[in-house]
A and B are shown apart, each in its own frame.
Chain A
């Protein structure tokens, strides 16, 4: 007996798409619920991820760019670098191209007073005007002191509020210069003529008010040379703040810097500032937990609703099998429906998410001093939630689709339902 050639045709998308559309439209309510659950997942995860990315970004920006820099370099033995600018130049040279700026500062403990009432303050000697993007403060009113301005001071807003001073007012500035008396300033509390704390006392004029969450709000900033003069070393700096292009290179660069400059101690922000490190880690954890919630919140209803959808179509599946649709095509038919749900849900969710992003941009989730957290809307940030939602929906939907493909047509067709 001669065998006839076996029939051969290619699987075609057209009939499957048609059947998928009819199948979904035949279960509009289920379809709507499916789209809703995917949309809710995407709509919440998009602003969540964007806000948390905004939080991390704002924190790094404020704490490092407008704070102590990425690496803090201090003298290992001595109290100060005698020549801050020269030390900063040595640091720059030692680190090479990865350094954006090396800024010498002279930070001393002190107090600011008005009418006999004093408030604790860090006193910063800074080389005005400095690079605006890397200043350890944000000028909120008034003007920067000119370089060499020996009488001008910038006051943190919180300090100014507590003292009730404004731009143009005079304030008493007390600075603990440290070490044995020798420079300008009067000795107090020590044995006469012996070693004791030297305190500089000056009347200064408030040139401007500054904010900044890294500490500026309760600090005073004045010309570094004028402050240094009070310590007896005209060019002194207590530290060099090193700004890098890449924050996350700090931990690697700090030890390399110490190897090149044995007289200096270099600490990266991760080691120096566990607050920021912990905050970033917390953000990552919250984001991961939020992702997990979204995965659960999408996969459970998608799985359950598609499961019910498939159960309700067992006879139809049997008929399609009898007509000549292969298991692979039946799997594809239900996976296509999942894909339609995923894309429709993602579109609706992206619209919802966009609305939430607009809202959070107008009403930031965190706003204090210059630390204002706005959602970061970049392709990289948005890709995460979108891909997670897409993958979750497809994976959750593929389980019932696989069950549909495993339906035994003989069993379901034997009954007359």
Chain B
């Protein structure tokens, strides 16, 4: 089975300090991995290198067989668009857009017509219990609602890899459960899932837990 993601000895130097120092990690299709570790150990930095947002100082990120950081900027953007879904801890949404517009945007950009994209967005929003809120401006959604919209948006292009950085960090446990259900749905669709979390309960739900300490896995 082809690996969705292979990280080879990733290093990220920020200032004079190696924040990530030689992280290697493989992810298969439909595999869910929880990344845990103390604050400041480099989890977000690692996720951003894998998500093609932050160039590693050394090492390789291989996505579906491609050395992703050797691709040019436009192709890397394409890879993010088609293969990767991102969920951050908070403030994921484009505030000027409605919930539905946020979810539809990546699909529209990837090639669907605007109407098709909105239909796909509506289906996902309904699945996450947000059908009634789809026309609400992003700025008027509750934090939990916004996280679910963000997950819907991360899934709309059926990515190979979903990267979630403490998606439940600012939620109570009930909302966190709803969000985790949504992420589990992503796995069910065949995406590999890498989720950063402090919550051991959530980590337990993933198939595998990887611990990060001082920039190492």
Interface set of A (CB-CB < 8 Å, partner B): 1-4, 6-10, 12, 14-15, 18-19, 22-23, 25-26, 315-316, 318-329, 408-410, 413-414, 416-417
Once the chains bind, are A327 and B73 in contact (CB under 8 Å)? yes
Which residues of chain B from 103 to 148 have a CB within 8 Å of any chain A CB?
A: 105-106, 108-111, 114
Q: Is B196 an interface residue (CB 8 A)?
A: no
A135 to chain B, nearest CB (A): 67
Once the chains bind, are B74 and A319 in contact (CB under 8 Å)? no
- The 0/1 profile, CB within 8 Å of A marked 1, for residues 62-100 of chain B is 001110000101111111111110101111111111000
B91 to chain A, nearest CB (A): 6
Give Cα distance in the complex from A14 to B110, angstroms: 11
Once the chains bind, are B2 and A324 in contact (CB under 8 Å)? no
Once the chains bind, are B92 and A4 in contact (CB under 8 Å)? no
A6-B66, A26-B95 known; A413 vs B90 contact (CB < 8 Å)? no
Residue among A1, A318, A325, A327 making CB contact with B65, cutoff 8 Å: A1
B3 CB contacts on chain A under 8 angstroms: 1
B77 to chain A, nearest CB (A): 4
B153 CB contacts on chain A under 8 angstroms: 323
B98 to chain A, nearest CB (A): 10
> A-side binding surface: helix, strand, loop or mixed?
helix
Once the chains bind, are B53 and A7 in contact (CB under 8 Å)? no
Once the chains bind, are B81 and A315 in contact (CB under 8 Å)? no
What are the 5 closest A-B residue pairs judged by CB atoms, nearest first?
A324-B81, A3-B65, A7-B82, A410-B54, A326-B77
A4-B64, A26-B96 known; A15 vs B2 contact (CB < 8 Å)? no
A272 to chain B, nearest CB (A): 64
Q: Is B24 an interface residue (CB 8 A)?
A: no
A318 CB contacts on chain B under 8 angstroms: 53
Q: Quick one: closest B residue to A10, CB to CB?
A: B111
Indicate the size class of the contact surface on chain B: 35 or more
Give Cα distance in the complex from A7 to B53, angstroms: 17
B99 to chain A, nearest CB (A): 14
A323 CB contacts on chain B under 8 angstroms: 80-81, 86, 105-106, 109, 153
Residue among A3, A7, A327 making CB contact with B78, cutoff 8 Å: A7
B48 CB contacts on chain A under 8 angstroms: 409-410, 413-414
Residue among A6, A25, A320 making CB contact with B79, cutoff 8 Å: A6
Q: Is B51 an interface residue (CB 8 A)?
A: yes
Once the chains bind, are B94 and A320 in contact (CB under 8 Å)? yes
B67 to chain A, nearest CB (A): 9
Q: Is B44 an interface residue (CB 8 A)?
A: yes
A324 CB contacts on chain B under 8 angstroms: 77-82, 84, 106, 109-110
B133 to chain A, nearest CB (A): 18
A193 to chain B, nearest CB (A): 102
Q: Quick one: closest B residue to A316, CB to CB?
A: B94
Give me 7 other A-B pairs in contact (C-beta within 8 A), A7-B82, A23-B96, A416-B88 excluded.
Answer: A14-B108, A22-B96, A26-B96, A321-B53, A322-B80, A323-B81, A324-B79
